[in-house]
């Protein structure tokens, strides 16, 4: 009994977490839309992607949702990540319970059994409410100031992103400029020159065939390892809902192919590990099992994988890198006043609350009251309380009732389809859908069946029509088919013969 209750409790936890995540995605689809492009780059099969118009308008189905701030979007994504961690742990616990056999002895006394069931019911009601509240939005605060749940009450998104990262819009690469100067031992590299060095990793051939310094240099390898680690951590901060273990596993598989496949260039086939070219593909393939190639792979594996990760993650963050480069170019051209204004704007955005004071939720009663007091309520707002007419347009209730649309009619033949009003009900008997369902019952549609909605009634009427048609004797046709012969031997039909004889012509 205890084992069964634990399973039920864990299943309940999983459903509560699923519902909490679904509500956040329904409120703001952008939480999910941000990940579509990145997920498709890791999936072998194509993902079902909504239309670009729906993504641009932040629309789910036909419902357009309000745009939220960057800080709120990122905060809720990190909150969902906490939910997924809880979900994964509870799923593991449930799997362990499913493997374990329940050895608990159930009491044979029916009274004890009913008592235990009653206690469980009272416990379930109270615990379910607490669980829902634990993962609900706005539960972290007694007032509607924090949109986060109690589960994420300690989440501070400012501790995750720096001010210059602008909640994932840009990367903080400027701090690596001085590190690069100490690597190349050349002070002539400006900040924009440094960005061009990083930009070379957006193209495989550029950073491998035309490196800015010797790729085997120890200082260069340490620098690549440092900046690669930052770009990787930034990616998982920005896209925190993507499974890190899955991505790293895919990168390890792709890294093996990256080492075994050559790059074509003017000098032949380039080996990434050995850092040299071979004239033909056969020569390249023959050198792969060699000791020198294996020694280079083992010796330089860490630096090679750092290079490869920087290349892959930087391509995934191409938009963010371009934003960073453009923002840096703008900052360089700023005047003192413009720099001060930009710094103030960044500080305001960074220190702003996750949930703005002017934000409203759908169906917010306070918003309705405020709009009515200030005379800002549109005429269309009142239409939401009106019933919909046959054309889908709101109409006054008196007209709705006058046309009989408040009365529902059902047709069993059409799978108990509901019709609002007598007019629509009578019209449907001549529609293709109703006639199709009659044919499925083996009945030929005709005006005789208009007004009949019950399947048994329609089948009974059809059987009656069939039996009546069989009993009806086609006597006239039989008379026409009988042939007779007159005294002269002429063959005539019976009807013609009787007509001639009646007239005295025979």
Q: What is the DSSP string of 450-467?
A: TT---HHHHHHHHHHHHH
Mean pLDDT of 206-210: 82
> pLDDT tens across 69-106, in order?
899 999 999 999 999 999 999 999 999 888 876 655 55
- What band does 285 get if pLDDT is binned at 50, 70 and 90? confident
Mean pLDDT of the chain: 83
* Angle of CA points 215, 219, 223, to nearest 5°: 85
Q: What number of residues does the chain have? A: 506
**Structure confidence at residue 363 (pLDDT):** 55
First to last CA, the chain: 106
Range from 51-60, 244-253, 326-335, 420-429 carrying the lowest mean pLDDT: 51-60
Nearest to 140 by CA among 65, 82, 91, 89: 82
**Structure confidence at residue 474 (pLDDT):** 57
Q: Is the pLDDT of residue 252 over 50?
A: yes
Q: Is the pLDDT of residue 479 over 70?
A: no
Q: Is the pLDDT of residue 469 over 70?
A: yes
- Range with top average pLDDT, 29-38, 198-207, 371-380, 446-455: 446-455
Cβ neighbors of 443 (< 8 A, separation 6 or more) are: 449, 458, 459, 462
Of residues 396 and 112, the one with the higher pLDDT is 396
**How many CB atoms neighbour CB 4 within 10 A?**
13
């Amino acid at each position: 009994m205890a084992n069964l209750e634990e399973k039920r409790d864990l299943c309940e936890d999983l459903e509560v977490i699923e519902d909490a995540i679904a509500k956040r995605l329904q409120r703001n689809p952008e939480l999910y839309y941000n990940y579509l492009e990145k997920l498709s780059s890791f999936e072998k099969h194509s993902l079902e992607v909504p239309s670009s118009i729906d993504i641009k308008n932040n629309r789910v189905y036909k419902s357009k949702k309000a745009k939220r701030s960057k800080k709120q979007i990122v905060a809720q994504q990190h909150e969902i990540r906490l939910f997924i961690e809880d979900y994964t742990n509870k799923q593991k616990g449930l799997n362990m319970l499913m493997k374990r056999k329940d050895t608990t002895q159930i009491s044979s006394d029916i009274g004890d059994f009913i008592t235990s069931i009653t206690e469980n019911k009272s416990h379930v009601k109270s615990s379910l409410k607490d669980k829902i509240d634990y993962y609900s939005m706005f539960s972290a605060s007694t007032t509607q100031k924090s949109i986060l749940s109690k589960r994420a009450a300690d989440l501070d998104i400012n501790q995750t992103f720096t001010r210059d990262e602008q909640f994932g819009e840009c990367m903080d690469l400027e701090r690596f400029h001085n590190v690069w100067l100490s690597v190349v031992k050349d002070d002539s590299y400006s900040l924009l020159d440094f960005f061009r060095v990083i930009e070379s990793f957006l193209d495989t051939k550029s950073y491998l065939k035309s490196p800015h310094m010797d790729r085997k240099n120890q200082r260069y390898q340490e620098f690549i390892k440092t900046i690669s680690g930052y770009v990787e951590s930034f990616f998982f901060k920005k896209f925190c809902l993507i499974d890190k273990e899955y991505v790293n596993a895919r990168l390890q598989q792709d890294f093996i192919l990256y080492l075994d496949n050559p790059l074509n260039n003017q000098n032949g086939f380039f080996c990434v590990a050995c850092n040299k070219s071979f004239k033909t593909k056969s020569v390249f393939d023959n050198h792969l099992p060699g000791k020198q190639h294996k020694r280079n792979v083992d010796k330089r594996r860490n630096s090679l994988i750092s290079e490869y990760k920087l290349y892959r993650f930087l391509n995934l963050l191409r938009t963010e890198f371009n934003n960073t480069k453009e923002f840096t170019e703008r900052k360089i051209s700023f005047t003192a006043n413009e720099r001060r204004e930009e710094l103030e704007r960044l500080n305001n955005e960074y220190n702003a609350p996750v949930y703005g004071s002017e934000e409203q939720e759908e169906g917010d009663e306070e918003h309705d009251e405020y709009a009515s007091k200030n005379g800002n309520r549109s005429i269309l707002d009142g239409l939401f309380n009106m019933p919909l007419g046959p054309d889908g347009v709101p109409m006054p209730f008196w007209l709705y009732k006058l046309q009989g649309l408040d009365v529902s009619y059902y047709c069993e033949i059409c799978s108990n389809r509901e019709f609002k009003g007598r007019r629509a009900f009578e019209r449907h008997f001549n529609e293709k859908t109703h006639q199709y369902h009659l044919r499925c019952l083996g009945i030929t549609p005709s005006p005789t069946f208009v007004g009949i909605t019950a399947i048994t009634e329609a089948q009974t009427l059809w059987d009656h029509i069939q039996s009546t048609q069989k009993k009806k004797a086609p006597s006239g046709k039989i008379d026409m088919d009988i042939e007779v012969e007159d005294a002269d031997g002429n063959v005539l039909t019976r009807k013609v013969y009787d007509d001639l004889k009646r007239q005295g012509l025979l």
